């Protein structure tokens, strides 16, 4: 897409932790423009969405050389500050054949798995890039779901559907407020065993649901897989 091409042309030769804020802001700005939303401005404090009073910003968190001169990973720290002062913090991972490519992959990951559901809730309820469902938690709430993010070995869809049902049932016990909430699920399986199973609501770890996700009969991996789900619970 055009915003990727722009950044590849202007990106510096090296990336380091704490840098890259201007490229995060440029990337997000071009993402909004590509989606037909032009009511924003960019300053050193972030991408400000006019009329919505929402600010997005971020920077490189880490870059690691996995295979010398051949393959890299990057993690970008990003934030969305809403009009009421609530803050969504996210860490998006990426990989590539160069530090720059890994950084760009992390930004693309953020936009696909995190930004799209937020955009659907606050701007475009009928955004075709997300799944929109209604869950009883315990009253009817609009749910805007990104597609599952997958890394490594394939995990069959039936397992992911089962986890969504488990999560939707258990969220009804949390007594969530009527405001917007964001939920993230991350599971990693290394050498046939669950290494990570985490569910957070508004960035806070939910132990009971995380334990249930960990106890699920996940398929064994030969080496590694990671699955990630992000969704937004709409404001009532």
Domains contained in the chain, number: 2
Indicate whether 136 and 210 sit together in one domain. Answer: yes
Is there a single domain that holds both residue 12 and residue 45?
yes
Q: Compute the distance between CA of residue 12 and CA of residue 81 in angstroms, rounded to an integer.
A: 28
CA count, 13 A, side-chain hemisphere, 223: 4
Task: Choose the final residue of a domain: 57, 91, 122.
Answer: 122
Tokens of 186: 């991350």
> Model-level pTM?
0.88
Look at the block and give the residue holding tokens 């924003």. 40
Domain edge (last residue) among 74, 104, 122: 122
Q: Which of 122, 140, 155 is a domain's end point?
A: 122
Quote the domain boundaries for residue 192: 131-233
Residue 168 to residue 128: CA distance in whole angstroms: 22
Specify whether 168 is located in the same domain as 144.
Answer: yes
Per-residue pLDDT of the chain (236 residues; tens, 9 = 90+): 454 444 544 455 445 666 788 889 999 999 999 999 999 999 999 999 998 999 999 998 998 888 888 899 999 999 999 999 999 999 999 999 988 888 889 999 999 999 999 999 999 999 999 999 999 998 999 999 999 999 999 999 999 999 999 999 999 999 899 999 999 999 999 999 999 999 999 999 999 999 999 999 999 999 999 999 999 999 98
CB 90, CB 110: distance < 8 Å: yes
Q: Are residues 86 and 170 in the same domain?
A: no
Is 228 in contact with 163 (CB distance < 8 Å)? no
In angstroms, the CA 111 to CA 233 distance is: 17
Query: Which among 109, 122, 146, 91 is positioned nearest to 31, based on CA atoms?
Result: 109
Kindly report the number of other CB atoms within 10 A of residue 145's CB atom.
Answer: 20
């Amino acid at each position: 897409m055009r915003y990727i091409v722009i950044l590849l042309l202007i990106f510096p030769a090296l990336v380091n932790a704490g840098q890259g804020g201007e490229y995060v802001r440029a990337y997000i700005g071009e993402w909004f423009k590509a989606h037909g939303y032009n009511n924003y401005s960019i300053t050193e404090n972030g991408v400000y969405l006019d009329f919505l009073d929402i600010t997005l910003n971020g920077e490189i968190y880490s870059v690691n050389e996995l295979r010398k001169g051949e393959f890299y990973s990057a993690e970008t720290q990003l934030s969305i500050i809403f009009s009421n002062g609530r803050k969504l913090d996210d860490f998006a991972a990426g990989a590539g054949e160069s530090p720059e490519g890994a950084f760009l992959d992390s930004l693309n990951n953020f936009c696909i798995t995190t930004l799209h559901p937020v955009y659907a809730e606050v701007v475009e309820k009928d955004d075709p890039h997300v799944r929109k469902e209604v869950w009883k938690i315990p009253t009817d709430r609009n749910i805007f779901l990104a597609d599952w993010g997958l890394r490594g070995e394939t995990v069959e869809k039936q397992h992911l559907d089962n986890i969504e049902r488990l999560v939707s049932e258990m969220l009804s016990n949390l007594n969530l407020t009527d405001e917007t909430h964001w939920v993230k699920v991350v599971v990693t399986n290394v050498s046939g065993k669950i290494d990570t199973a985490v569910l957070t609501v508004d960035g806070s770890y939910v132990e009971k649901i995380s334990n249930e996700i960990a106890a699920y009969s996940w398929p064994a991996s030969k080496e590694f897989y990671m699955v990630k789900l992000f969704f937004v619970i709409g404001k009532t």
